[in-house]
């Protein structure tokens, strides 16, 4: 990744996204953030004000994705609503912020000829396993709308670029529970 290139972080006001934005900005990359603040907070990026470009918008809106992807070289797709209880209450929201938003973002990135798309996958896709720790070779058995949405979005991100005559490389980084500063009380949410 060259430092003159533009990096888009979707969900950049969230827990992981904001740390990623901080790391990229501190490394000298040009960074754009798109977020609808569904679970994220602008204050997570407060200390970086003026050092990144901000777009407030919903990735379920394809026009927002097109605007966010304009001129972008790399996409870190962190945007999602990662709450199992909330997804059980609001399965449609879970789907639109998962597979729908991911498909929109993939297509927008393809149109803008982004070279890399990096999806944030979730260990929730593997359900409740007897074997621990979980790993990516396990058979997916999602047990909630969030887990199913995340798995669907994972499959799309991993397989589509190669089949779309899009020369970008795609990769999936699976998070198996991240903890740290600015993580809100998600268990209760
Ligand atoms: N934190 C973990 O332990 C963990 C584990 C597995 C996977 N993940 C994945 O990592 C990613 C980031 O997780 P996080 O813990 O930082 O969550 P988070 O809720 O703190 O961040 C997600 C961000 O996405 C934004 N967002 C949600 N829907 C959006 C939409 N439709 N349009 C625009 N922005 C939207 C939210 O406002 C928020 O800022 C998610 O995709 C999640 O599934 C996280």
Tens of pLDDT, residue by residue over 69-120, are 999 999 999 999 999 999 999 999 999 999 999 999 999 999 999 999 999 9
- Average pLDDT, integer, range 59-75: 98
**Element at 153 (helix H, strand E):** helix 145-163
Distance, in Å, from the CA atom of 24 to the CA atom of 159, rounded to the nearest integer, reads: 26
Q: What are 93-107's pLDDT values in tens digits?
A: 999 999 999 999 999
Strand order in the sheet with 116-122: 53-56, 30-35, 6-10, 74-77, 116-122, 169-175
Predicted confidence (pLDDT) at residue 132 exceeds the cutoff of 50:
yes
d(CA 99, CA 12): 18
Q: Closest Cα to atom 18, ligand 1: which residue?
A: 14
Ligand 1 binding site (Cβ under 6 Å of any ligand atom): 11, 13-17, 35-40, 58-60, 78-82, 97, 101, 120, 122-123, 150, 175, 177-178
Helix %, strand %, coil % of the chain (to 5)? 40, 15, 40
Quick check: 162 pLDDT over 60? yes
| Ligand 1 pocket mutation pick from 10, 18, 39, 55 by most atoms within 8 angstroms of CB | 39
Q: Is pLDDT of 186 > 70?
A: no
Q: Mean of the pLDDT values across residues 44-72?
A: 98
Of the candidate ranges 39-43, 98-102, 135-139, 170-174, the one whose mean pLDDT is the lowest: 170-174
Decide the pairing of beta strands 74-77 and 53-56. Answer: unpaired
* CA proximity to 80, closest of 9, 164, 163, 23: 9
Domains in the chain with CATH codes: 6-175 (3.40.50.720)
- Indicate the average pLDDT of the chain: 92
Residues whose CB falls within 8 Å of the CB of residue 89, separated by 6 or more in sequence, listed in order: none
Nearest 5°: phi and psi at 121?
-90, 170
Taking the centre of ligand 1 as the mean of its atom positions, its distance from the CA of residue 90, in whole angstroms, is 16
Mean pLDDT of 141-154: 96
**How many helical (H) and strand (E) elements, i.e. helices and strands, does the chain have?**
6, 6
Percent of the chain with pLDDT over 70: 96
Q: Is-catalytic flag, 126?
A: no
- Angle, nearest 10°, between helix axes 101-111 and 145-163? 20
- Decide if pLDDT at 30 tops 70: yes
Model confidence, pTM:
0.95
pLDDT band at 163; cut points 50, 70, 90: confident
Measured from the CA of 96, which atom of ligand 1 is nearest?
31
Contact 125, 154 (CB under 8 A): yes
Rg (CA), the chain: 16
Spell out a b/e string for 72-89, using b for 16 or more CB atoms within 10 Å of the CB, else e.
Answer: bbbbbbbbbbbbbebbee
Residue 187 confidence (pLDDT):
47
pLDDT at 9 over 70: yes
Q: Is the pLDDT of residue 169 over 90?
A: no
């Amino acid at each position: 990744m060259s430092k003159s290139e533009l990096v888009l972080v979707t969900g950049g006001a969230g827990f992981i996204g904001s740390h990623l934005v901080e790391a990229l900005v501190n490394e000298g990359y040009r960074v754009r953030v798109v977020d609808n603040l569904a679970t994220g907070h602008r204050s997570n990026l407060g200390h970086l004000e003026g050092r990144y470009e901000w777009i407030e918008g919903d990735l379920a809106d394809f026009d927002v994705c097109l605007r966010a992807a304009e001129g972008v070289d790399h996409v870190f797709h962190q945007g999602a609503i990662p709450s199992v209880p909330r997804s059980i209450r609001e399965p449609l929201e879970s789907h639109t912020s998962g597979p729908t938003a991911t498909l929109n973002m993939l297509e927008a990135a393809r149109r803008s000829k982004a070279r890399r798309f990096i999806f944030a996958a979730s260990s929730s896709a593997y359900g409740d396993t007897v074997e621990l720790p979980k790993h990516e070779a396990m058979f997916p058995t999602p047990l909630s709308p969030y887990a199913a949405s995340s798995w669907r979005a994972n499959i799309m991100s991993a397989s589509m670029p190669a089949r779309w005559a899009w020369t970008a490389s795609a990769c999936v980084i699976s998070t198996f529970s991240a903890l740290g500063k600015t993580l809100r009380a998600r268990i209760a949410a």
